Protein backbone atom coordinates (compact mmCIF):
# COMPACT_ATOMS: atom_id res chain seq x y z
CA UNK A 1 0.00 0.00 0.00
CA UNK A 2 1.21 3.45 -0.80
CA UNK A 3 1.70 5.98 1.95
CA UNK A 4 -0.93 8.28 0.46
CA UNK A 5 -3.50 5.46 0.54
CA UNK A 6 -2.72 4.79 4.21
CA UNK A 7 -3.05 8.49 5.00
CA UNK A 8 -6.33 8.72 3.13
CA UNK A 9 -7.70 5.66 4.90
CA UNK A 10 -6.56 6.97 8.28
CA UNK A 11 -8.16 10.36 7.65
CA UNK A 12 -11.40 8.71 6.51
CA UNK A 13 -11.54 6.55 9.64
CA UNK A 14 -10.86 9.56 11.87
CA UNK A 15 -13.61 11.56 10.16
CA UNK A 16 -16.05 8.68 10.71
CA UNK A 17 -15.07 8.42 14.38
CA UNK A 18 -15.55 12.16 14.87
CA UNK A 19 -18.91 12.04 13.11
CA UNK A 20 -20.11 9.17 15.30
CA UNK A 21 -18.93 10.85 18.50
CA UNK A 22 -20.50 14.15 17.50
CA UNK A 23 -23.73 12.39 16.65
CA UNK A 24 -23.84 10.81 20.11
CA UNK A 25 -23.28 14.19 21.75
CA UNK A 26 -26.02 15.73 19.64
CA UNK A 27 -28.41 12.92 20.57
CA UNK A 28 -27.72 13.45 24.28
CA UNK A 29 -28.16 17.21 23.91
CA UNK A 30 -31.41 16.70 21.99
CA UNK A 31 -32.69 14.30 24.65
CA UNK A 32 -31.81 16.73 27.44
CA UNK A 33 -33.53 19.54 25.56
CA UNK A 34 -36.64 17.39 25.06
CA UNK A 35 -36.71 16.55 28.78
CA UNK A 36 -36.44 20.25 29.67
CA UNK A 37 -39.31 21.12 27.32
CA UNK A 38 -41.41 18.34 28.85
CA UNK A 39 -40.65 19.54 32.39
CA UNK A 40 -41.59 23.10 31.47
CA UNK A 41 -44.85 21.87 29.94
CA UNK A 42 -45.68 19.93 33.11
CA UNK A 43 -44.88 22.96 35.28
CA UNK A 44 -47.06 25.21 33.12
CA UNK A 45 -49.91 22.70 33.43
CA UNK A 46 -49.47 22.66 37.22
CA UNK A 47 -49.73 26.46 37.26
CA UNK A 48 -52.93 26.32 35.24
CA UNK A 49 -54.47 23.64 37.45
CA UNK A 50 -53.47 25.55 40.57
CA UNK A 51 -55.15 28.64 39.14
CA UNK A 52 -58.32 26.65 38.53
CA UNK A 53 -58.21 25.16 42.03
CA UNK A 54 -57.90 28.64 43.53
CA UNK A 55 -60.88 29.84 41.50
CA UNK A 56 -62.87 26.87 42.80
CA UNK A 57 -61.76 27.51 46.38
CA UNK A 58 -59.81 24.26 46.55
CA UNK A 59 -56.77 25.78 48.26
CA UNK A 60 -55.34 22.51 49.57
CA UNK A 61 -54.87 21.06 46.08
CA UNK A 62 -53.57 24.38 44.78
CA UNK A 63 -50.97 24.45 47.55
CA UNK A 64 -49.80 20.92 46.71
CA UNK A 65 -49.20 21.94 43.11
CA UNK A 66 -47.63 25.29 43.93
CA UNK A 67 -45.16 24.25 46.66
CA UNK A 68 -42.51 22.71 44.34
CA UNK A 69 -42.92 25.52 41.80
CA UNK A 70 -42.37 28.19 44.45
CA UNK A 71 -39.33 26.31 45.77
CA UNK A 72 -37.82 26.14 42.28
CA UNK A 73 -37.95 29.92 42.02
CA UNK A 74 -38.54 29.74 38.25
CA UNK A 75 -42.14 30.93 38.38
CA UNK A 76 -42.86 34.25 40.11
CA UNK A 77 -46.58 33.81 39.36
CA UNK A 78 -46.49 30.63 41.49
CA UNK A 79 -45.35 32.71 44.46
CA UNK A 80 -48.15 35.20 43.78
CA UNK A 81 -50.72 32.41 43.66
CA UNK A 82 -49.28 30.89 46.84
CA UNK A 83 -49.76 34.25 48.57
CA UNK A 84 -53.40 34.15 47.49
CA UNK A 85 -53.71 30.62 48.90
CA UNK A 86 -52.07 31.62 52.18
CA UNK A 87 -54.34 34.66 52.52
CA UNK A 88 -57.40 32.51 51.88
CA UNK A 89 -56.40 29.64 54.18
CA UNK A 90 -57.76 31.16 57.45
CA UNK A 91 -61.11 31.67 55.74
CA UNK A 92 -60.93 28.17 54.28
CA UNK A 93 -60.00 26.69 57.66
CA UNK A 94 -62.99 28.29 59.37
CA UNK A 95 -65.34 27.00 56.67
CA UNK A 96 -63.81 23.51 56.98
CA UNK A 97 -64.16 23.53 60.77
CA UNK A 98 -67.81 24.57 60.56
CA UNK A 99 -68.61 21.89 58.00
CA UNK A 100 -66.89 19.19 60.07
CA UNK A 101 -68.71 20.34 63.24
CA UNK A 102 -72.01 20.20 61.38
CA UNK A 103 -71.38 16.63 60.30
CA UNK A 104 -71.25 15.38 63.90
Could you give the number of structural domains in the chain? 1
Q: Is the pTM of this model over 0.85?
A: no
**Within a domain: residue 76?**
yes
Q: Tell me the residue range of the domain where 103 lies.
A: 38-104
pLDDT (tens digit per residue) in 45-95: 999 999 999 999 999 999 999 999 999 999 999 999 999 998 886 665 444
**Within a domain: residue 103?**
yes
Long-range contacts for 31-35 (Cβ within 8 Å, ≥24 apart)?
A: none
pLDDT (tens digit per residue) in 36-51: 999 999 999 999 999 9
**Within a domain: residue 6?**
no
**Within a domain: residue 70?**
yes
**Within a domain: residue 72?**
yes
**Within a domain: residue 7?**
no
**Within a domain: residue 48?**
yes
> How many Å apart are CA 22 and CA 27, to the nearest integer?
9
**Within a domain: residue 4?**
no
**For helices 3-56 and 59-72, angle between their N-to-C axes, nearest 10 degrees:** 140
Amino acid sequence: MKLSTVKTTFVAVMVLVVMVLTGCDMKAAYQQSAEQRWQKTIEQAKLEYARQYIEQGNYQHAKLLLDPLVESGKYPEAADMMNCVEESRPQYASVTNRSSEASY
